[in-house]
Amino acid sequence: MSCGEKLAEEIRGKGFRVTPQRGVILETIAHMGGHLSVPEVFSAARDRLPGLNITTIYRTLETLHRAGMVDLFYSGSGPTRFALRDPDQAHGHLVCSECEQVMDIDESLIAHLAEEVVRETGFSIDPHHLTLVGVCDDCLSEGKRRIS
Amino acid sequence: MSCGEKLAEEIRGKGFRVTPQRGVILETIAHMGGHLSVPEVFSAARDRLPGLNITTIYRTLETLHRAGMVDLFYSGSGPTRFALRDPDQAHGHLVCSECEQVMDIDESLIAHLAEEVVRETGFSIDPHHLTLVGVCDDCLSEGKRRIS
DNA sequence: CTAGTAGTTGCAATAGTTTGCATTAAGCAT
DNA sequence: ATGCTTAATGCAAACTATTGCAACTACTAG
Ligand SMILES: [Zn+2]
Ligand SMILES: [Zn+2]
Ligand SMILES: [Zn+2]
Ligand SMILES: [Zn+2]
């Protein structure tokens, strides 16, 4: 069973239909890996399934996101990016607004943050691809800008 | 001195030029208040200054953001929103991905979170309009969806 | 296997955002 | 006041994202 087929079974299990388009899109993002934009997924998936429309990519990724299989990742600049979720390892990102650098946050720190928020507010943060914007160590010490 | 003029002085102090467009845009967002989208600011500001181009709104808000006078607020759906920064009270938002509800986070909780992150990673989170996506108390107890 | 239902797709129109470039004008120095 | 320098604006085009609707098809029930 290919990884596309495995993912197809997973979305069927969540009550969504398995279509050729969804099969190809899942296969594509699984093989490309990483953090992809819709146009990137589109041009790769269209090669496997001519006639595929870019609207279908947007809608499929939204569906997969609601199904918990794909994460959104918006860094504050450029197009929104999507990534296949790794259920075993929830990572997040720190985006420096000065140098555009993107760092990873590891799972345990995210878990601590989420714990504090849920205790204070009752709100459960989604630990997958938690994205925080600020200023990195380097940029802060270079004094390019003070955050007020 | 109107609030628009006061803000104009502030951006001049940060090294940016004061133009009629910027004066009108500042006056407009100060009087409208709240969390505004670019199209909203545009249609209001254009009434005061005919000929104003929407591109100028985008660029001015980006400039004001870099100057620390305006915050970005992207909730994961709809257009990006902007708000005049209140330097005395940094608030943030919790966005429920189930019911679209937006709650406020108060400053002290944000300060705690930022402290934990900077201690672990050296990264300084911008406390203004910190926005976290997840599931609210109500939606979680109603079991509309489990977060994995 | 067949028919019905409802979720999904493609297409076109629309909305929101960014970029390049020529023109204009704010702030500064004389 | 006058001219210089460079930031800022307007405009057009490209890019990114969303929505409405008709046609289609995956799934289910019989
Ligand atoms: Zn940086
Ligand atoms: Zn990631
Ligand atoms: Zn909710
Ligand atoms: Zn706010």
The position carrying tokens 């989604």 is A126
pLDDT of B144 strictly over 60 = no
Residue A8 is predicted with a pLDDT of 79
The reported pTM is 0.90
The position carrying tokens 């794909």 is A70
Listed by start position, the domains of chain B span 1-85, 87-148
Question: In terms of pLDDT, which residue wins out, A4 or A6?
Answer: A6
Residue B6 is predicted with a pLDDT of 81
CB contact (8 A) between residue A126 and residue B135: yes
> Residue B101 is encoded by which pair of tokens?
């509800």
Per-residue pLDDT band for A146 (boundaries 50, 70, 90) equals: very low
Q: What is the mean pLDDT of chain B?
A: 90
pLDDT of B101 strictly over 80 = yes
The proportion of chain A whose per-residue pLDDT surpasses 70, expressed as a percent, equals 94
> Residue A91 is encoded by which pair of tokens?
């990572």
| pLDDT tens figures, A8-50 | 789 999 999 999 999 999 999 999 999 999 999 999 999 999 9
- Please name the fold of domain A1-85: Arc Repressor Mutant, subunit A (1.10.10)
A58-64 contacts: CB < 8 A, separation 24 or more? Answer: A60/A21, A60/A22, A60/A25, A61/A25, A63/A11, A63/A16, A64/A11, A64/A26
> Residue A82 is encoded by which pair of tokens?
């999507």
The position carrying tokens 């870099």 is B66
Fold match between domain B1-85 and domain B87-148: no
Residue B4 is predicted with a pLDDT of 64
Angle at B61 between CA B57 and CA B66, to 5 degrees: 150
- Angle between helix B107-121 and helix A107-121 axes, rounded to 10 deg: 170
Residue A1 is predicted with a pLDDT of 60
The position carrying tokens 């760092």 is A103
**One-letter-per-residue 3-state SS of A78-137:** CCCEEEECCCCCCCEEEEECCCCCEEEECHHHHHHHHHHHHHHHCCEECCCCCEEEEECH
Q: Give the B window 92-121 contacts with A, CB below 8 Å.
A: 94, 96-97, 103, 105, 109, 112-114, 116-117, 120-121
Query: For A128-148, what is the mean pLDDT?
Result: 77
- DSSP class of B17: P
Residue A56 is predicted with a pLDDT of 98
- CA-nearest residue to A123 within chain B is B136
Please give the CATH number for the structural domain made up of B87-148.
3.30.1490.190
Q: What is the mean pLDDT of chain A?
A: 90
